[in-house]
Chains A and B, each alone.
Chain A
Amino acid sequence: MAEHLMCELSVPGRRGFQFPDSDVPEVKLPEGMLRDDLPLPEMAEIDVVRYFTRLSQLNHSVDTGFYPLGSCTMKYNPKINEEAARIPGFANLHPLQPVETTQGALAMMYHLQQWLSEIGGYQATSLQPAAGAHGELTGVLIIRAYHRSRGDTKRNKILVPDSAHGTNPATSAMSGLEVVELRSDDRGNVDIEALREHCNDTLAGLMLTNPNTLGLFDENVEQVTGMVHEAGGLIYGDGANMNALLGILRPGDIGIDVLHYNLHKTFSTPHGGGGPGSGPVSVTEELADFLPDPVVGIIDEGDESNNIPPLYGFITPPKTIGRMKAFQGHFGMIVRAFTYIRMHGPDGLRKVSEYAVLNANYLLALLRDHYHVPFDRICMHEFVAEGRWEDAPEIHALDVAKRLMDFDFHPPTNYFPLIVHESLMIEPTETESKETLDAFARTMIRIAEEARSEPEILKTAPHKTPFGRLDEVKAAKELVLCCVPQFAR
């Protein structure tokens, strides 16, 4: 059932909130600078609460059901993280307070920098980037700045595998580099011969996601990184798939020079309906000076013998690419990630990746006889299957996705990677039980059968959800993007 909009629920004269009266002498407001109307709703508190509570009930979420969205790592979001972020000593800190008053927060940031460096195999980390794509832009700017600092201005090409997430080529283009698409071989690895063609002095670098978006670990990764380095380029690693590698392998150890993490994927900070994320960036020793401004460091060593602790503060890296946003980063997400790492320790983190990979391979084993898996190898934390069958020609991956919703499952990702037709990218994550995976597999198998025996039920799905398929063409053509006029009275 559709919910009314606030412009329809608003009643003139209703009021939801009251502030205390002014306790200072009244001053005239600036004439000629005032607005006439203020188009906001008039609702009582109960109206507002009911409205948003009812809206929330229209959503599928991790808290309500399985959410195997490939490349998003929809793992369970621990509730203790929410408590942690709301501790007043964290939530009420102003970003520009003198550092002497925020030593707890700074120590926390300093340690998270170090822990992320350790997890990835790096020497320095910035917590400033606001999200994965933001971290990518940071990384690409660092690579450009590095080449520029060496007077190497010919390097204007960046290689991006054809399986890459869309943000990779978009980021590179945004920073003015020429994007060259690199094909994958028939085992899903970067094609070595295609790479060799571009290993010359115009190569700025390679953007690599490993494991890649097919969920496959590149079997030649050290050869790939070696070739790029020999040609004088650098490798940027998209760390979106770190959930497969915690405590297993460190990207820094296999030649990746810059890596971004998605705290909202690997480190359990919640997705929030689309954000906020957090995309810290780690780099090798050589690139540490180029990190964004500021990073957290020790600005006074203190004196252990006299019980004077070190003083934490902000440092501007000597060759910084500059500031990526206002203030120092998404501290609210930093607290959550800190809490997550603290609760796992090194052994717990390794277990996360081991079970993420176990769960994905288990699902792959259950489904491979019913869905074609184009790259049939042991997968990492996710795998890609095709949502199509020769003997069910009208059925597309989209139809499988829509039918899954009838069984209370969020569909897997089905708009990329582009190199697999009708792709269904499935990432269960480690927080799901065998029962959930079994139920999901049973449903997927049933849908595969329905595709042949009663395709209509797929083509017209979903049937049991609050809403059916939406008219996206109408939305794009009519472009109704707000309901402003109603409030103006």
Chain B
Amino acid sequence: MIIPSDLKYTENDEWIKIEGDTGTVGITDYAQDQLSDVVFVEIFAEPDETLGAGDACAAVESVKAAADVYLPAGGTIIEINEDLLETPELVNSDPYGEAWMVKIALSDASQLDALLDAAAYEKHCEERSA
């Protein structure tokens, strides 16, 4: 299970990469493994839209499951990854790289404190697999 140490995580299997005031959001390796072959990704957040922490920004669908993706922290949408519409399988092959979903301008950096670090997220995954 790949869990990059420089990211922060939610219990709902989203990751966020912080670069200054910008956050990039996607779903984790654990999530894509649980879903198995992803067939469709819908990003319904739009550029310039402001959403809060916990708001749904996208939906991911595989043959056996469908899941909503929630923002780990609130902010204004800067960019959405349109490639995922054509090649949803990127979520399986490169969940932390090419399968990023949205980039946001963070509205409140203190919200990041509530998130899990890599070690805590790893523990969370282990507890669920038991």
In the bound complex, residues from chain B placing their C-beta under 8 Å from that of A476 are 39-40, 61-63
Q: From residue 439 to 489 of chain A, which have CB atoms closer than 8 A to chain B?
A: 472-473, 476-477
Number of residues from B at the complex interface, CB < 8 A: 7
Determine whether B37 belongs to the interface, using a CB cutoff of 8 Å to chain A.
Answer: yes
Q: From residue 390 to 430 of chain A, which have CB atoms closer than 8 A to chain B?
A: none
Q: For chain A, what secondary structure do more than half of its interface residues adopt (helix, strand, loop), or is it mixed?
A: helix
**Residue among B37, B39, B62 with most chain A CB within 10 A:** B39
**Nearest-Cβ distance from residue B32 to partner chain A, whole angstroms:** 14
In the bound complex, residues from chain A placing their C-beta under 8 Å from that of B37 are 473
In the bound complex, residues from chain A placing their C-beta under 8 Å from that of B63 are 472-473, 476
C-alpha spacing A472/B61, complex, angstroms: 13
Q: From residue 15 to 34 of chain B, which have CB atoms closer than 8 A to chain A?
A: none
Q: From residue 93 to 121 of chain B, which have CB atoms closer than 8 A to chain A?
A: none
In the bound complex, residues from chain B placing their C-beta under 8 Å from that of A477 are 39-40, 88
**Nearest-Cβ distance from residue A275 to partner chain B, whole angstroms:** 23
In the bound complex, residues from chain B placing their C-beta under 8 Å from that of A472 are 63
| CB closest residue in chain A, given B36 | A473
| CB closest residue in chain B, given A475 | B63
In the bound complex, residues from chain A placing their C-beta under 8 Å from that of B88 are 477
C-alpha spacing A472/B36, complex, angstroms: 12
User: What 0/1 readout, one digit per residue, does chain B (57-75) give for beta carbons within 8 Å of chain A?
Assistant: 0000111000000000000
C-alpha spacing A472/B63, complex, angstroms: 7
In the bound complex, residues from chain B placing their C-beta under 8 Å from that of A473 are 37, 39, 63
C-alpha spacing A473/B40, complex, angstroms: 10
C-alpha spacing A427/B62, complex, angstroms: 29
| CB closest residue in chain A, given B89 | A477
C-alpha spacing A476/B88, complex, angstroms: 11
| CB closest residue in chain B, given A472 | B63
C-alpha spacing A476/B63, complex, angstroms: 7
| CB closest residue in chain B, given A476 | B39
| CB closest residue in chain B, given A477 | B39
User: What 0/1 readout, one digit per residue, does chain B (28-53) give for beta carbons within 8 Å of chain A?
Assistant: 00000000010110000000000000
- Residues of A with Cβ closer than 8 Å to B? 472-473, 476-477
12 residue pairs of the A-B complex, CB under 8 angstroms, read A472-B63, A473-B37, A473-B39, A473-B63, A476-B39, A476-B40, A476-B61, A476-B62, A476-B63, A477-B39, A477-B40, A477-B88
Q: What 6 pairs across the A-B complex have the smallest Cβ distances?
A: A476-B39, A473-B37, A472-B63, A477-B39, A476-B63, A473-B63
5 further A-B pairs in the complex, CB-CB below 8 A; given A472-B63, A476-B39: A473-B63, A476-B61, A476-B62, A476-B63, A477-B88
